Amino acid sequence: MREAAEVVELRRLWWGGMTNNWWNASTDQLTVCSRSALVEVAAVLPAPGRIVVARIDGTRMTDADHAFYEFSDALLFPGYFGWNWNALSDCLRDLSWLPADGYLIVIENAPRLLSSDAEDQHTLFRILSRAVHHWASPLGQPDGKGVPLKVLLLCDRDEEAALLRQEIASAVRNMR
């Protein structure tokens, strides 16, 4: 059984009646969204400033080594990146070589990433979740405010429910 600290929360991106801007929302979860979802543009626009966007294809992350490569390539990891889970976690919580007012990691074909290794998939989602929590915290930030790091897991509409149900998320909150 996983400890509470190990739980990765996923939520379905829900647009109907959304009054807050997704970027400014206090939620610090990974977000699942189908590619065919109707999106209210104003709800997803970040505040003015420099936003780093990394697009990663889940089908290219067939194993841990490929996942390390895809993240390293998309986020321009420095040469000292250690090509292991701890190094990925460290780099995602640093990003000093990519200064920005916010970060967006879009993982397309999310159900396919590390799909043959549930443990590695859970590890990756846990690392992403911890990075999101880290950046959301105002502690250690120069201006005393959290920096938005959003992770958007894209999938087909018929895969959305399955991705939300996966064992990687023992606690799931659906926004309906």
CA–CA dist 72, 77 (Å, integer) = 5
pLDDT at 146 over 70: yes
- Residues 24-82 have pLDDT tens digits of 655 556 777 776 665 555 556 666 678 899 999 999 999 999 999 999 999 999 999 99
The one-letter amino acid at 150: K
11 three-class SS: strand
Q: 4-172 has which fold?
A: Barnase; Chain D (3.30.370)
Res 26: pLDDT: 55
Q: Which of 65, 129, 71 is nearest to 95 (CA)?
A: 71
Domain range annotation of the chain: 4-172
pLDDT at 66: 98
Report, in angstroms and rounded to the nearest whole number, the Rg of the chain calculated over CA atoms. 15
Q: What is the mean pLDDT of residues 134-149?
A: 80
pLDDT at 157 over 70: yes
What confidence tens digit (pLDDT) does each residue in 80-137 have?
A: 999 999 999 999 999 999 999 889 999 999 999 999 998 999 899 999 999 998 988 8
The DSSP secondary-structure symbol of 46 reads P
The reported pLDDT for the residue numbered 145 is: 81
Instruction: Find how far residue 87's CA is from the centre of its chain.
Output: 17
Per-residue pLDDT, 31: 73
Of 148 and 67, more confident:
67
24's tokens: 């400014």
Across 139-160, average pLDDT: 82
> Could you count the other beta carbons within 10 Å of the beta carbon of residue 140?
8
- Provide the mean pLDDT of the chain: 77
Which of helix, strand or coil describes residue 161? helix
Give 159's pLDDT tier (boundaries 50, 70, 90). Answer: confident
CA distances from 107 to 15, 16, 88, 143, 145 (A): 19, 23, 16, 29, 26
Cα gap 51→23, rounded to integer Å: 11
Question: What is the pTM assigned to this prediction?
Answer: 0.77
User: What is the DSSP-derived secondary structure letter of residue 6?
Assistant: G
